[in-house]
Structure 1
Amino acid sequence: MKTIPVFYTISDNYTPYAFVSIQSLIDHADPKKDYTITLLVQKISDEHKKSLEGMSTNNIHVHVFHIDDDMVKPIHKGKENYLRAQFFTMSIFYRLFIPELFSQYDKAVYLDADTIICTDIADLYNIEIGDNMFASCPDLSIRYMPLLQKYIKECQGILPAEKYINNGVILFNMKAFRDKHFVDKFYYLMDKYHFDNVDPDQAYMNEICEDKIYHLPKEWDAMPNESIPEIENPKIVHYNLFFKPWHFADVQYAHYFWDVAKTTPYYNELKKQLADFTDADRKKARADLEWMAKKVDMIVAEPNTWAKVKQHESVKID
């Protein structure tokens, strides 16, 4: 039986959220289909590894994969690689290497760990995307946040800004990534220009694959957004940016998370995280959005922005 490959990339402290996400996937999986779930990590405790791999069933196989240090060595802890202007985590880049690391697959699904799956993930896997490099949803938050509009237009140089995708949910054309040597292009651009971004991995995928991205319907990546009502019947909920249900009780789509979380061994730990997250913590999380705005202004002034480089060199894969 052909397996449906699904990938996550996590750090050890994200184990509880990954567990809840995988449980939601299992809850909606077809017992007549086969699924292989692989979690890419650099370091993970034995306890967490056992916990995650213990989720395996007869038709769902969960594995922890230790990513090779040499592959990520060129990615240094420079300021340009800090996620959303505030912290650095190597795991955000792991997804870029999935097609190279798993050459046995020509197609695969990638999911961020802060997602809840509300349908059979095979429905996403079976979408035909032609010769596009990957499929993802345009990031709806961009059209309601002037600072992100400015970032996409003036720093990234992608127009219209609304076509900029969020890469928390990806349907990979794995073969195309290998055939087009995506990783080589990524390393070349990163080493030559050291682009400063608020979303390092996502920026590279948008730029290198521009015009070769299949846009999925918005239901496949429903994200909390205070500017718009919840999307009805989302297929995947993605708690993007700073407003996580384990930190904010009133975040949109929170019930999807807690309905699954309460069935897992991490429920009490997650409820404690919510209780321990103070008003001061919540204020700081909202202030991070203001820091993003300042970061965008700094990036615009950089000598090498994507928009400036594209005036004299193509960054896209042909």
Structure 2
Amino acid sequence: MIKERGGLISNETKLLNSDENPTISVVMSTCNKKKFLKNSIESILKQTFINFEFIIIDDESTDGSIELIQEYTEKDDRIIFIKNTRKMGYYHNLQLGFKIAKGKYIARMDDDDISELTRLSKQVIYLEKNKHITVLGSFVDVIGDPDMEICGKNIDDPEILSVLLNIDSFIYNSSVMIRKSFLDLHTLTYNTKYNLAEDYILWSTILLVGGKVQNYPEILIHCRMHKKNIITNKTMMLARQKMLRRFFDTDNELQEFISIYYNQDNILRLPLINIIKDLSEKNIKQKVLPQCAFDKTIDKLNGCLEPAFDKNNIPVVLATDNNYFPYLGVAIASIIKTSTTTNNYDIIVLEEDIDSYRKKQLLSLIDNYSNIKIRFINMKPLIEGQNDRAIFYLSGHFTTATYYRFFIADLLKKYEKVIYIDSDVIVLDDLANLYKVNIGDNLIAAVPDVEMIKTVSAENEGIYNTNYSSYIPNILKVTNYLKYFQAGVIIFNIKELIKENFSQKCIDKLKQIKTPIIVDQDILNAVCYEQVYLLDMKWNAVWNPFIWNNHHIRCLPIDFYNNFLIAFNKPSIIHYASVTKPWSSPERAESSYFWSVARETPFYEEIIMKNTKIFNNTQSINCEPWEIVRYITLYKKLTFKCVRNKIKYKVSFGDARRKRKMRYNEIKKQKDELKAFLRI
């Protein structure tokens, strides 16, 4: 049986050790880390699993560490304390610890890290049940420098690690538990010839002789990272080349590969996914690893997810950046508010570098919901994997996040279909009802763009002169403007999109058009034209027709006009698709949908602060308060006019373009002068 504080933890797991030997040998090397040593030692001594020896080797500390360890040694006979008479070095100490270890398993522990109290228990149970695993690390939480990262801290799959370990050490040294019998059989330990790369060469050698490496899929250790922890040395590259050489016919080919992907400091110069894709191509010829291992790795790096629930899974995807995060939080709160217990809601957020505190705020919304999960996909590898981030053309209030949906089919290839919604929406009906809509073999389902149809209809009647009526059929190749859709709410038919190589088609079309007026929405229309199922307008009831020249809404074809009014009066999703938003214009009637939900979220105060900050910056202006309010209102109107006139002149030609650009410059000048006056 496995011994644990409070009794036995398993009736099934039996140990092969004799009663005289401990199950685990924990090995620690230390030198002048008294500042952190107490917490580190206690995190081991207080483990729920108790059948271990704790080998601590001190390398001539002078800061009181020796005295501290001796105190613990007197209190706990599981500690084996070794004091070096001369400085031997970190990995030499670990070699010694491995040599004298009596346990069936060897667990590593650094002198400034902290183990979860159930770490040893969870790792030993897992290794007992999974005899094929040789090295078991764990997920890692970084303490100390918040900007430091750990390679592979959330990668657990052995096949994926077998690929990634050709590139770097994706196992954190202080988190591992190793089968001692495997080390003894193959005469393996840390190789001090590879200075500062000893752990990486040990894991890679274990792989080469047939071992398997895995990370336990929970955070079991909190590691303290400092700038000096990061190493980029020649011996690390030598160790890496030992693994990479298997994929090449000649040394020259290997060196050419390294020169492409690594700089002179041995740091990757291109995104990790690029080098993995290249190695995957070489593996087809060399057959070093099963090709499925590369496929899984590429999916993982692309952020590919499995459905969160086995049945009644309603996948919903949103995209955000840091600026829009609180509004995304309100949108998700509205999804939760309209959810039902008979369905499971699989919410996926596409983002880049949203900090952990904000994610915890969002996750707090589902504390009491077992049928709702929220997961995050960092889009940076995919976006930067395009080599030139500048291809993602932006205008007006749009950010790169709007292009994330290009990659949904690749990210969620395990799904049948998914719902995408913008972050500036409020959901008023159960999204399960939208998900159940049968869209056949169409690529996507979406709502016709009322604003665009109104604009083109008005242009056809001579009211506008925007040239959208030329741009849409001639540039986008959408020959029937009545089928141009609004991209704020979309059902993606994943299987059909994969067949069409959708993501690549979007990128190719973007490179061709270069400066789409309504950015990704134009590209989606161009790629999906004639393969779109048109949804009931209630699923994307946009409020901008009543903001942008609302008296022209009657230019809509009569059936569109009537359907839009019905949808707008009883929407299933209200979409604030305009530069004017409910958080900046709470006086608008439709803003109440937003604020009624926002008040119940942890983002409410932030939203208030963001939208009152402009007033705080004007306190020292020598004006009456009512005048400041009037100026701020004027500034918002000018901002809106700037965006509108910029779009107008960009879709115009000849003399009309010249006049509209002059008008745009006049308005922008007024706006900039007012901005300077208001100090915002």
Q: Same fold (TM over 0.5)?
A: yes
Distance apart, 1:253 and its partner CA? 1.8
> Greater shift after overlay, 245-254 or 274-283?
274-283
Distance apart, 1:107 and its partner CA? 0.7
Q: Distance in 2 between matches of 1:290 and 1:114?
A: 23
Q: Does 1:162 align with 2:482?
A: yes
Aligned-residue Cα RMSD (Å) equals 2.4
Any residues of structure 2 matched to 1:71-110 within 5 Å, and which?
71-74=383-386, 76-78=388-390, 81-83=392-394, 85-86=395-396, 89-110=399-420
Larger Rg, first or second structure (1 or 2): 2
Distance apart, 1:73 and its partner CA? 3.1
Correspondent of 1:289 among 639, 644, 648: 644
Q: Does 1:204 align with 2:523?
A: yes
Give the TM-score of the pair, scaled to structure 2: 0.42
Distance 1:72 1:212, change over 3 A: farther
**For the Cα contact (< 8 Å) 1:106–1:173, is it kept in 2?**
yes
Q: Distance in 1 between matches of 2:513 and 2:470?
A: 20
Distance apart, 1:2 and its partner CA? 3.2
Distance apart, 1:154 and its partner CA? 4.8
> Greater shift after overlay, 113-122 or 247-256?
247-256
> Greater shift after overlay, 273-282 or 158-167?
273-282
Q: Distance in 2 between matches of 1:135 and 1:7?
A: 14
Give the TM-score of the pair, scaled to structure 1: 0.86
Percent identity, please. 29
**For the Cα contact (< 8 Å) 1:135–1:170, is it kept in 2?**
yes
SS of the residue corresponding to residue 156 of structure 1 reads coil
**For the Cα contact (< 8 Å) 1:81–1:88, is it kept in 2?**
no
Distance 1:75 1:194, change over 3 A: farther
Correspondent of 2:502 among 182, 191, 194: 182
Q: Distance in 1 between matches of 2:452 and 2:387?
A: 27
Any residues of structure 2 matched to 1:126-145 within 5 Å, and which?
126-145=436-455
Q: Does 1:123 align with 2:123?
A: no
Distance apart, 1:175 and its partner CA? 0.7
> Greater shift after overlay, 174-183 or 112-121?
174-183
Letter in 2 for 1:268: E
Q: Does 1:19 align with 2:335?
A: no
SS of the residue corresponding to residue 231 of structure 1 reads helix
Greater RCO (CA < 8 Å, at least 6 residues apart): 1
**For the Cα contact (< 8 Å) 1:133–1:213, is it kept in 2?**
yes
**For the Cα contact (< 8 Å) 1:81–1:197, is it kept in 2?**
no
Any residues of structure 2 matched to 1:182-261 within 5 Å, and which?
182-191=502-511, 193-224=512-543, 225-226=545-546, 227=550, 228=553, 231-251=568-588, 253-261=590-598
SS of the residue corresponding to residue 491 of structure 2 reads strand
Distance apart, 1:159 and its partner CA? 2.8
Q: Distance in 1 between matches of 2:383 and 2:321?
A: 17
Letter in 2 for 1:44: I
SS of the residue corresponding to residue 646 of structure 2 reads helix
**For the Cα contact (< 8 Å) 1:223–1:238, is it kept in 2?**
yes
SS of the residue corresponding to residue 287 of structure 1 reads helix
Letter in 1 for 2:573: I
Q: What is aligned with 2:370?
A: 58
**For the Cα contact (< 8 Å) 1:244–1:251, is it kept in 2?**
no
SS of the residue corresponding to residue 30 of structure 1 reads coil
**For the Cα contact (< 8 Å) 1:7–1:110, is it kept in 2?**
yes
Q: Distance in 2 between matches of 1:200 and 1:44?
A: 23
> Greater shift after overlay, 46-55 or 114-123?
46-55
SS of the residue corresponding to residue 496 of structure 2 reads helix
**For the Cα contact (< 8 Å) 2:317–2:350, is it kept in 1?**
yes
Q: Distance in 1 between matches of 2:532 and 2:579?
A: 26
Letter in 2 for 1:294: Y
Q: Distance in 2 between matches of 1:117 and 1:27?
A: 8
Correspondent of 1:67 among 349, 359, 379: 379
SS of the residue corresponding to residue 608 of structure 2 reads helix
**For the Cα contact (< 8 Å) 2:476–2:523, is it kept in 1?**
no
**For the Cα contact (< 8 Å) 1:25–1:121, is it kept in 2?**
yes
Deviation track 1:235-260 (CA, whole Å, cap 9, x = no partner) reads: 00111121111112344521111111
Q: What is aligned with 1:271?
A: 608
Letter in 1 for 2:372: I
Distance apart, 1:214 and its partner CA? 0.5
Distance apart, 1:70 and its partner CA? 4.1
Q: What is aligned with 1:316?
A: none
Deviation track 1:52-86 (CA, whole Å, cap 9, x = no partner) reads: 222222111011221251454327454x7433x33
Structure 1: runs of 5 or more not aligned: 302-318
Q: Does 1:47 align with 2:357?
A: yes
Distance apart, 1:87 and its partner CA? 5.5
Q: Distance in 2 between matches of 1:215 and 1:209?
A: 12
**For the Cα contact (< 8 Å) 1:77–1:88, is it kept in 2?**
no
Count of paired positions:
298
Distance apart, 1:144 and its partner CA? 2.7
Distance 1:164 1:252, change over 3 A: farther
Distance apart, 1:263 and its partner CA? 1.2
Q: What is aligned with 1:173?
A: 493
Distance 1:172 1:58, change over 3 A: same
Structure 2: runs of 5 or more not aligned: 1-310, 456-463, 554-564, 615-631, 658-680
Q: Distance in 2 between matches of 1:17 and 1:4?
A: 21
